[in-house]
């Protein structure tokens, strides 16, 4: 019998992408969806691409909680805490695509998000859902903080080198480029087609909230504080994150060594493609899929590692990874429902 899953906040981009991915999952049934802005309307009224495919009407958060064994929430920060509590009390699996349970240091959470942690014990309980690094902790877990998009792309590009001690911890830079869906569904002047098309700019330089989350993951790997200079940019494409990461090579580190280290590190990872030399990581290659490409270079003149990762911000950077986490939580094969090829064009 199918597992009942529900989505709170289904009319945002991450929520809608969850509905799409769950529709192709052979063991899950979409039980209920909710939306504050579109309560009472079918999802297909908001996303005409789903017309005739998901005309389910948006109900309330309570209805989702009632009907679902697995609850996903894709909400602005602050709003997931009470949902997590209710799921915890009723023994449901809760996978939070928002930011509320990602940061382990509550002072960082409160400082970067301006929100109070209401249930510190739930923060303690929550596991950070980046399966390639924390798979064993995620398995069978009921409260999972699904990482953000940048915070998936940057660590995937850096962790193998950091863990193997091939790069320095100081002076790491992550220059990231994101597709426009990363800015959400709400239309703004910045995302008005004629003003974004044929343009590109950096935003929130030195102050994006994903910074402490990236640092937390790197710190958890190498056991020491790591500081990252992180610059996000907005790209005129719908989907994708390209993370170009720079780190100082330790003396003697070679490209061949790095290439081998990454290939071994990720050799059993279905979703991670460490590209051979000569292939390029490109957001074009991973659209609508849960895959992540990684491309490695060294600049011998300057002693730098340049590691580039590419993923779909809405899939591996949000909804796909959430389903991957659900699979782990429920004890299903991790790739279930996530094996569809990306379109080649």
Give the residue from 118, 122, 126 showing the smallest Cα distance to 145: 126
From residue 93, alpha-carbon distances to 205, 290, 320 in Å are: 36, 21, 16
Is 333 a binding residue for a copy of itself by CB under 8 A? The answer is no
C-beta closer to a copy of itself: residue 121 or 299: 299
Min dist CB 281 to a copy of itself, Å, is: 6
Number of Cβ atoms within 10 Å of the Cβ of 178:
24
CA neighbours closer than 13 Å in the CB half-sphere of residue 18: 37
Q: Kindly state the helix (H) or strand (E) to which residue 43 belongs, with its residue range.
A: helix 43-46
Using CA atoms, how far apart are residues 111 and 166, in angstroms rounded to an integer? 32
Residue 232, φ and ψ in degrees, nearest 5:
-85, 145
> Which of 149, 245, 288, 292 is flagged as catalytic?
149
Using CA atoms, how far apart are residues 324 and 25, in angstroms rounded to an integer? 11
Three-state DSSP at 31 gives: strand
Binding mask 141-180 for a copy of itself (x = CB under 8 A): ------------------------------x-x-x-x-xx
Binding mask 69-108 for a copy of itself (x = CB under 8 A): ----------------------------------------
Binding mask 210-249 for a copy of itself (x = CB under 8 A): -x---------------xxx-x-x-xxxxxx-x-x-x-x-
Q: Which residues contact 164 (CB under 8 A, 6 or more apart)?
A: 261, 265
Among 2, 36, 39, 200, binds a copy of itself (CB under 8 A): 200
Interacting stretch for a copy of itself, rule CB under 8 A, among 32-40, 101-109, 133-141, 334-342? 334-342
Binding mask 250-289 for a copy of itself (x = CB under 8 A): -----------------------x-x---xxxxxxxxxx-
291-330 residues in contact with a copy of itself (CB under 8 A) are: 291, 293, 295, 297-302, 304, 306, 308, 310, 314
Residue 304 tokens, joined: 């730098």
Min dist CB 145 to a copy of itself, Å, is: 23
Is 2 a binding residue for a copy of itself by CB under 8 A? The answer is no
Using CA atoms, how far apart are residues 62 and 165, in angstroms rounded to an integer? 48
Is 198 a binding residue for a copy of itself by CB under 8 A? The answer is yes
Among 36, 40, 51, 116, binds a copy of itself (CB under 8 A): 51
Among 201, 225, 254, 264, binds a copy of itself (CB under 8 A): 201
C-beta closer to a copy of itself: residue 65 or 319: 319
Q: Is 149 a catalytic residue?
A: yes
- The position carrying tokens 């997590």 is 84
Interacting stretch for a copy of itself, rule CB under 8 A, among 47-55, 73-81, 84-92, 106-114? 47-55
From residue 107, alpha-carbon distances to 78, 170, 214, 313 in Å are: 14, 23, 16, 27
Interacting stretch for a copy of itself, rule CB under 8 A, among 15-23, 33-41, 98-106, 322-330? 15-23
Number of Cβ atoms within 10 Å of the Cβ of 5:
28
C-beta closer to a copy of itself: residue 70 or 292: 292
Using CA atoms, how far apart are residues 180 and 178, in angstroms rounded to an integer? 6
SS3 of 5-17: EEEECCCCHHHHH
**Residues identified as active-site:** 149
């Amino acid at each position: 019998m199918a597992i009942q899953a529900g989505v709170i906040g289904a009319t945002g981009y991450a929520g809608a992408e969850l509905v799409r991915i769950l529709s192709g999952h052979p063991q899950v049934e979409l039980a209920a969806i909710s939306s504050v802005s579109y309560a009472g309307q079918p999802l297909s009224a908001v996303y005409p691409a789903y017309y005739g495919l998901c005309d389910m009407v948006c109900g309330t958060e309570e209805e989702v909680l009632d009907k679902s064994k697995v609850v996903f929430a894709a909400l602005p920060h602050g709003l997931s805490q009470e949902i997590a509590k209710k799921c915890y009390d009723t023994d449901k699996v809760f996978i939070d695509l928002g930011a509320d349970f990602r940061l382990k240091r509550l002072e960082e959470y409160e400082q970067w998000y301006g929100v109070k942690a209401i249930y510190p014990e739930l923060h303690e309980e929550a596991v950070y859902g980046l399966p390639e690094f924390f798979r064993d902790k995620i398995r069978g877990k009921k409260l999972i903080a699904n990482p953000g998009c940048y915070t998936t792309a940057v660590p995937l590009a850096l962790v193998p080198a950091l863990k193997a001690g091939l790069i320095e911890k100081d002076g790491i830079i992550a220059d990231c480029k994101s597709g426009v869906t990363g800015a959400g569904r709400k239309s703004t002047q910045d995302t008005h087609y004629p003003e974004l098309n044929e343009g590109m700019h950096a935003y929130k330089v030195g102050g994006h909230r994903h910074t402490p989350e990236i640092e937390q993951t790197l710190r958890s790997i190498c056991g020491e504080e790591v500081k990252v200079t992180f610059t996000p940019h907005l790209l005129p494409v719908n989907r994708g994150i390209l993370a170009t990461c720079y780190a100082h090579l330790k003396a003697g580190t070679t490209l061949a060594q790095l290439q081998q280290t990454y290939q071994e590190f990720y050799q059993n990872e279905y979703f991670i493609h460490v590209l051979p030399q000569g292939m390029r990581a490109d957001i074009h290659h991973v659209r609508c899929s849960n895959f992540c490409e990684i491309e490695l270079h060294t600049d011998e003149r300057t002693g730098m590692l340049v590691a580039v990762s590419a993923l779909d911000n809405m899939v591996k950077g949000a909804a796909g990874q959430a389903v991957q986490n659900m699979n782990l939580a429920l004890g299903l094969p991790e790739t279930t429902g996530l094996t569809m090829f990306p379109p080649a064009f």
